[in-house]
A and B are shown apart, each in its own frame.
Chain A
Amino acid sequence: MERKIKLIFIFFFLNYMIFPVNLIMRATQNELVSITVVSPCGRADEGISGLLSVLFLYQREKWRKSLWNSGGRVEAKINEDSSYFRVIALKNYWNVATNVTESLIFDSQINPISLETAKKILVMSLPRPTLEDFGPFLFYPMSEYGHPFPVIADIMKINSSHLRALKNKCFSPSRVRVIVEGGFVPSVVKNIYMKKIADYPPPPRLVEPPDRPPIGVGFLPDDEYHVIWFFKLIEEREILPIKYLIHSLAMNSEGLLYTMFSGKIRVNSGIKYGRNVSFGWIDLKVNDPKDLREVFFVSRRVIYGKLRTGIEEEEYNRARKYELGREKYYKSLPWPIFRREWKAIRMREKKMSIEQMNNVLKNFPLRSTSVLITGRENNIKEILDRVSSIGVFDSLGRFMYELSSE
């Protein structure tokens, strides 16, 4: 028994020595290999809108032939202040995955032809922004954090020097964290380790979010009628209570808002809710523009009231059961990001009782909540008599002007 403990201890010690913090590995009996490069750079660090997307597409274009011959695939995601780039390949072609990720980190030469193609591909597949993406624009208007969705004119401006600067800033070896997963061969790790990706401490956030009052009520001209409540999550301990609060308010069949607006919001997908790293949201889709005013004011009263009183024990238990179920679902999916996130949340949850949660909710600042309303301009005017001003946005997330009751 003692020998076993010793062996485990030595194993962990060696593991730490060979693979320090920034290199995370998990061997599975999988036919695939995935290598993920995580960076603390997001939209806030881009400078020019769409620059990070161009970099990722450029990387894919540069290695297109070898990816194409090996059947490999690239996927990437960009947040406000973080992003990841992942290569997935068949186990036999693991060297393609290492080559692509290595060249992202170490190779500073830019191939102009691949760059032009990457720009064109991005323009051809410009993502359609969803309403949930408007959170940063409400809380950080006119700042780096709330900088608008990619525009064609911006993307066409990008040249190789921009790309090189971004690489040095965000994907230098000291900035990245590498996750290797799948049925890989030890030499994959050796290959990366030899070039010393992992000799640095975990990377910090590059741009701090600005601390300024948000736009309390935003408006987006649209054909559909929505009222979307946003909760800004700054501290880590806020994540779980806000998640439980959203659950108790918006859950189908049992949520407070769901039962309250049963005739007024759409039957199918009338209420949506979710959370990402920095925001939680509740999206109410209203049937009739006449009900927009009522839905807005009543939901405001309910949400502010709930923040004051906190959640009840029954709601807590219900949300907890739901969370456990979701956790199992995400654990069934193959890639590592979800697992790590869920592990962290479980750790927090073990420490958090319902009293602690309610404490956090009671101290949750009202300036960390904001609302976006979509509809026609004449519908919004009814709301103006009880709200001092409404900020108007365009579909790219740019702040246009302010409507006031005067």
Chain B
Amino acid sequence: MRRIFLFFVLVPILLSLETFSLKNGMKLILVQRDIPAVFMATYYRAGSFFDPPGQEGLAYLSSRLSFVSRRKTRPWEQIFFLKRVGGEINVEVNQDFSVFFSYFPKEEFPLALWYEMERMKPPLVSRERFERTKAQLSQELFEQMTGNPWLAIYSEILRGVYGETPYSHPPWGYPGNIKRISGESFLRFYSSYYQPGMATMIIIGNLTEADRSLIIKMFSPLKGKNVFIPERVDFPARDFSGNISVKGFEKPGFVLSYRISNPGCRERVILEMLKSYLERRLIENMERYSPEEKIKIVTSHFIYSSLFSVMYKGKDFMKIKRLIEDEITKLRVSSIKGENLYGLQRDFIRRIREAEQNPEKWREELGILSLVYRCSEADVLSRTLSINTNSFRELVRSNLTPFNRATLYLKPWKEK
């Protein structure tokens, strides 16, 4: 029965996806959807992992500087063009990859594609503009760090979970270190990582045969090269606990994080399910606690690792911490109930269906979960259906252990 269902679900999806790569190493995924706009995302397999020590934030700065002039364009021209026609472009930099995500009306497709192609060429940036951008960026970061306490906590979690590895700093770097980045290291980073050989482009829209040949014609002449990417080692396990006090948190609390290294599609799907399961369990048990306290569960997926964190601030924070750890221990020993698991599976399928309809959500859900190198949408769907209580328990047993854990206690902030 399940196979028949899978057949009817998967075949139409596989038919609407087309995947191929060009000679310069660039990968292309074209998705056919009958919509009046075109959504385009360029993923580079490079993020803050490659930041040299002392120059943290290089990837973030490079993503900002990727809109400077080329031989045929003025600085920020691509952004202005997209804005003018009612579209938009966003950049996201992660530990493992960077995304340039844009959308625009279908009529502007050739020009928007041309701008994207120009952006992929090496940048022409003057020393003055480089210094000015650095100064602006570090000032912005400084403001954000002081204004948003979660940023300080997040960078502390990363340090706790990943120890002395390239993952231990936040992708946006530190304000002081951005000032230290040299022009040479920027150019080296850009030419080796932000180039077609490292890129995967996803285009969603009503694409004709002419559009397809245009894409190939435009991107084939670009020069791409194969870059050696070091194998991500499995980081040494450690049980970290520390204290932090930041402005904006007047109540005590904790942040509990688990690191899952080298997760596959199935692990990512299970983690998402685990998140919604724990949220529901906590709400059921909430009557015991006073309502001024806040619980937040966050999962973040990179290519080579994932993070699962629970954040809480309030009076009885130790009780809540024990409750969550109890819940995880229960899952470790006796796993989840079958009926709950089916609910979670349906929930996940609904999310994928929604994302499929809404290209913006596509980026949030599938962009990270499935389309980045590891698994396709069809893969995710089939894996979702094949998850059983045993595989759920396996993940919790092997990954949510004290050795992959970092606990951060939030001390109440006092004005000096």
Contact = CB atoms under 8 A, between A and B. Distances in A.
Given A88-B354, A124-B293, A322 B37 contact: no
Contacts of A32: 350, 353-354, 357
B36 A152 contact: no
B291 A329 contact: no
Which DSSP category, helix, strand, loop or mixed, fits chain A's interface? Answer: helix
A124 B295 contact: yes
Given A253-B83, A321-B85, A324-B105, A72 B36 contact: no
A15 interface: no
Contacts of B35: 331-332
A30 B357 contact: yes
B291 A322 contact: no
Contacts of A123: 291-292
Given A267-B136, A325-B104, A152 B79 contact: no
Contact of B103 (A69, A120, A156, A329): A329
B287 interface: yes
Interface in A293-336: 318, 321-329, 331-334
Contact of B353 (A31, A152, A251, A253): A31
A157 to B, nearest CB: 13
Contact of A253 (B80, B291, B343): B80
Contacts of B216: none
Contact of B291 (A93, A124, A223): A124
Contacts of B136: 267-268
A223 B104 CA distance: 36
Interface in B103-134: 103-106, 108
A255 to B, nearest CB: 10
A322 B350 contact: no
Interface in A316-361: 318, 321-329, 331-334
Nearest to B353: A31
Contact of A268 (B39, B104, B140): B140
Contacts of B264: none
Contacts of A68: 280, 343, 347
B413 interface: no
Interface residues of B, number: 48
A256 B319 CA distance: 56
B147 interface: yes
A152 B292 contact: yes
Nearest to B346: A71
B84 interface: yes
Nearest to B133: A267
B28 to A, nearest CB: 20
A71 B350 contact: yes
B342 A117 contact: no
B367 interface: no
A268 B344 CA distance: 40
A90 B349 contact: yes
B163 interface: no
Contacts of B103: 329, 332
Interface residues of A, number: 47
A267 B87 CA distance: 19
B154 interface: no
A271 B305 CA distance: 36
Given A89-B350, A116-B287, A321 B86 contact: yes
Nearest to B137: A268
A121 interface: yes
Interface string B283-323: 10011000111110000000000000000000000000000
A362 interface: no
B286 A69 contact: no
A68 B35 CA distance: 31
B37 A120 contact: no
A71 B348 contact: yes
B334 interface: no
B36 A119 contact: no
Interface string A105-120: 0000000000011011
A224 interface: yes
A291 interface: no
Interface string B348-381: 1110011011111000000000000000000000
B86 A323 contact: yes
A70 interface: yes
B360 A333 contact: yes
Interface string A233-272: 0000000000000000001111000000000001110000
Interface in A19-52: 30-32
Given A120-B286, A328-B105, A90 B339 contact: no
A73 interface: yes
Contacts of A324: 86, 105
Given A120-B286, A268-B140, A251 B357 contact: no
A327 B104 CA distance: 10
A30 B355 CA distance: 12
Nearest to B205: A332
22 contacts: A30-B353, A70-B346, A71-B344, A73-B354, A90-B349, A93-B346, A120-B291, A121-B286, A253-B76, A254-B84, A268-B140, A321-B86, A322-B85, A324-B105, A325-B104, A325-B105, A325-B108, A328-B36, A328-B106, A329-B105, A332-B35, A333-B360
Interface of A: 30-32, 64, 68-73, 88-90, 93, 116-117, 119-121, 123-125, 152, 156, 223-224, 251-254, 266-268, 318, 321-329, 331-334
**3 tightest A-B CB contacts, nearest first:** A325-B86, A71-B346, A334-B357
Given A73-B354, A252-B79, A253-B83, 7 more contacts: A70-B346, A124-B293, A252-B80, A267-B136, A321-B86, A322-B84, A333-B358
